[in-house]
């Protein structure tokens, strides 16, 4: 059987700056990667969302990962037409991999991306998956779809690779151009090509995984490990609440030991940590192993919103008017995906409270459409509340003066501090305080 040489080599033995790359999916992962790779290669960025592509062409990134000057200076060509990627030597798929209502892996976005890429694949092309998946998906799910839609054979006519994304939304230190990138390919040659490609985009270097399944597994345990550690802290926090002590005070004290791991309590949402453990648990179940610890951690973290809401409720006397500050899944990012603040809001409303929500970073239309939440826009005009719940540690909330917060609650309400934003801030004696 004759194997087609990887197209990225351009008839030689090394990857050149003439290599053409397509990025399929231009969200939090795909866009920063496209901009980083475009410094060394010819890059086309593809997305099915016409509004997203239009905004990017205008130099606006609503995810706030790439600033306008950097975006406008980039050579990335943005398109909604998959045919514009036909010349690509390498296709990098960066679409979301969520879970469904039953917390089962939803591979439909990834399958759809492969169905789109297959017909435009040229011989020798490499398809790299960056989306988080359980071990085996790249070769056993993506491979057959690409074969069927391209009419070619994986490992012979085209090649597969996997490089797990490590984007941390809002993190301006561990960006895609500075972190270590794990690479893996169907063959050693493909792995080396991907090491050259990603190595040109990051100063952090690359790590060659032994094989694709190993790289896939590494990604899911990275986030599962973090999820389990947060679950431990959350459970400890629940215990400390019953003992009348602050988890933040305990953690600060314990943190004086050199090998104590620095995790803080709170909500675990977003598109990675709150999702990826379910992928590993699903695959474990398929091979006959019940992932007890992983799923226990998930259960603890999934219940944290209810625990916080009920704790706030227990500190109030009767039905109250409550202001929730922040609704995105993480501080200083606009991302509403899988935010667990909605659990706090829902439970408080179930308990009979009137709840208003403010978030300067969240898109008002998205909050209304996807979360059924009407955001309040003007923070300076807010007052007359019985309680404030500091749910997300946006900088704008950290910067609020004690006087401003006290005015919102009429000088005698409850400040519920989920993130420890104001734990070292002094307020008047009439202000009641609660924190994790």
Domain count, the chain: 3
List the catalytic residue out of 272, 291, 308, 391. 272
Q: Both 94 and 115 in a single domain? A: yes
Q: How much is the pTM?
A: 0.93
Q: Is the pLDDT of residue 171 over 90?
A: no
For residue 294, the model assigns a pLDDT of 97
For residue 10, the model assigns a pLDDT of 72
Helices 212-243/292-302 angle, 10° precision: 50
Please give the Cα distance from 130 to 91 (Å, whole number). Answer: 10
Mean pLDDT of 169-196: 92
Q: Both 319 and 329 in a single domain? A: yes
214 is a domain residue: no
Confidence bin at 127 (pLDDT 50/70/90): very high
Q: Both 262 and 373 in a single domain? A: no
Q: Both 75 and 99 in a single domain? A: yes
Would residue 114 show up in a list of annotated catalytic residues for this protein?
no
The distance in angstroms from the start CA to the end CA of the chain is 63
Confidence bin at 175 (pLDDT 50/70/90): confident
Q: Both 193 and 130 in a single domain? A: yes
Confidence bin at 174 (pLDDT 50/70/90): confident
1 is a domain residue: no
371 is a domain residue: yes
Among 146, 149, 169, 166, smallest CA distance to 158 is for 146
**CA torsion sign, 62 to 64 to 69 to 75?**
negative
Q: pLDDT tens digit string along 204-238?
A: 999 999 999 999 999 999 999 999 999 999 999 99
Diameter of the chain measured on Cα atoms: 81
For residue 167, the model assigns a pLDDT of 81
Q: Both 308 and 297 in a single domain? A: no
Q: pLDDT tens digit string along 75-117?
A: 999 999 999 999 999 999 999 999 999 999 999 999 999 999 9
2 is a domain residue: no
Which residues are bridge partners to 154 per DSSP? 158
Phi, psi for residue 300 in degrees, rounded to 5: -60, -50
Instruction: Sort strands 159-162 and 181-185 into parallel, antiparallel or unpaired.
Output: antiparallel
75 is a domain residue: yes
Mean pLDDT of 183-195: 96
Q: Tell me what the pLDDT averaged over the chain comes to.
A: 94
Count the neighbouring beta carbons within 10 Å of the beta carbon of residue 158. Answer: 26
Q: Is the pLDDT of residue 267 over 90?
A: yes
215 is a domain residue: no
Rounded to the nearest 5 percent, the helix, strand and coil shares of the chain are: 40, 15, 45
Mean pLDDT of 6-32: 87
Which residue's entry shows tokens 């999916």? 25
50 is a domain residue: yes
Q: Is the pLDDT of residue 15 over 90?
A: no
Instruction: Indicate the residue among 277, 302, 327 that finishes a domain.
Output: 302
Q: Both 287 and 320 in a single domain? A: no
Please tell me what DSSP assigns to residue 362.
Answer: S
Count the neighbouring beta carbons within 10 Å of the beta carbon of residue 246. Answer: 18
For residue 11, the model assigns a pLDDT of 60
Q: Both 280 and 398 in a single domain? A: no
Q: Print the domain residue range for 180.
A: 7-209
Please, are residues 258 and 314 in contact by the beta-carbon 8 Å criterion? no
Q: Both 284 and 348 in a single domain? A: no
Confidence bin at 1 (pLDDT 50/70/90): low
Instruction: Indicate the residue among 249, 273, 302 that finishes a domain.
Output: 302
Q: Both 155 and 254 in a single domain? A: no
Instruction: Indicate the residue among 302, 333, 352 that finishes a domain.
Output: 302
Mean pLDDT of 150-175: 91
Please give the Cα distance from 416 to 308 (Å, whole number). Answer: 9
For residue 260, the model assigns a pLDDT of 96
- Which domain CATH number covers 262? 1.10.1040.10
- Which domain CATH number covers 332? 3.40.50.720
Among 154, 179, 8, smallest CA distance to 91 is for 8
Confidence bin at 12 (pLDDT 50/70/90): low
Query: What residue spans of 244-340 are helical by DSSP H?
Result: 247-254, 276-286, 292-302, 304-314
Q: Both 148 and 248 in a single domain? A: no
Please, are residues 123 and 146 in contact by the beta-carbon 8 Å criterion? no
Mean pLDDT of 31-41: 96
Q: Both 163 and 234 in a single domain? A: no
Q: Give the sheet arrangement for strand 90-93, strand by strand.
A: 77-79, 42-46, 20-24, 90-93, 126-129, 159-162, 181-185, 206-208
Residue 352, both tokens: 């009979």
For residue 17, the model assigns a pLDDT of 79
Q: Is the pLDDT of residue 13 over 80?
A: no
CB contact set of 384 (below 8 Å; sequence gap of 6+): 321, 408, 410
Among 355, 331, 337, smallest CA distance to 420 is for 331
For residue 19, the model assigns a pLDDT of 93
For residue 88, the model assigns a pLDDT of 97
Confidence bin at 389 (pLDDT 50/70/90): very high
Percentage with pLDDT > 90 across the chain: 88
Q: Is the pLDDT of residue 14 over 80?
A: no
Percentage with pLDDT > 70 across the chain: 99
């Amino acid at each position: 059987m004759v194997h087609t040489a990887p197209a990225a080599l351009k008839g030689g033995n090394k990857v050149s700056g003439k290599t053409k790359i397509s990025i399929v999916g231009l969200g939090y992962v795909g866009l920063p990667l496209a901009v980083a790779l475009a410094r060394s290669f010819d890059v086309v960025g593809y997305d099915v969302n016409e509004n997203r592509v239009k905004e990017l062409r205008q130099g606006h990134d609503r995810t706030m990962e790439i600033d306008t000057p950097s975006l406008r200076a980039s050579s990335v060509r943005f398109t909604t037409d998959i045919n514009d990627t036909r010349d690509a030597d390498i296709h990098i798929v960066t679409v979301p991999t969520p879970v469904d209502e039953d917390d089962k892996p939803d591979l439909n976005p990834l399958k759809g991306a492969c169905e789109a890429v297959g017909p435009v694949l040229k011989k020798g092309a490499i398809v790299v998956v960056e989306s988080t998946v359980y071990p085996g998906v790249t070769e056993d799910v993506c491979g057959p779809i690409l074969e069927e839609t391209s009419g070619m054979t994986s490992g012979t006519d085209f090649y597969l690779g996997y490089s797990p994304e490590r984007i941390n939304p809002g993190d301006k230190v561990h960006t895609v151009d500075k972190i270590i990138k794990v690479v893996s390919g169907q063959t050693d040659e493909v792995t080396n090509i991907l090491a050259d490609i990603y190595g040109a985009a990051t100063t952090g270097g690359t790590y060659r995984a032994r094989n694709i399944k190993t790289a896939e597994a590494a990604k899911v345990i990275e986030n599962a490990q973090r999820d389990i550690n947060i679950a431990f802290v959350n459970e400890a926090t629940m215990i400390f609440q019953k003992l009348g002590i602050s988890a933040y005070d305990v953690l600060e004290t314990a943190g004086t030991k050199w090998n104590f791991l620095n995790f803080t309590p709170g909500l675990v949402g977003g598109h990675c940590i709150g999702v990826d453990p379910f992928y590993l648990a699903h695959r474990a179940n398929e091979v006959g192993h019940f992932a007890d610890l992983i799923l226990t951690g998930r259960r603890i973290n999934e219940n944290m919103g209810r625990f916080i809401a009920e704790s706030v409720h227990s500190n109030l006397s009767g039905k109250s008017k409550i202001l929730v500050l922040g609704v995105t899944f993480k501080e200083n990012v606009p991302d509403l995906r899988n935010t667990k603040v909605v659990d706090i809001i829902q439970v408080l409303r179930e308990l009979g409270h009137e709840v208003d929500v403010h978030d300067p970073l969240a898109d008002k239309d998205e909050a209304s459409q996807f979360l059924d939440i009407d955001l309040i826009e003007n923070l300076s005009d807010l007052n007359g509340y019985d309680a404030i719940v500091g749910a997300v540690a946006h900088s704008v909330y950290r910067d609020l003066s004690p006087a401003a917060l006290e005015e919102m609650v009429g000088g005698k309400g409850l400040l519920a501090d989920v993130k420890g934003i104001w734990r070292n801030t002094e307020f008047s004696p009439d202000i009641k305080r609660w924190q994790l």
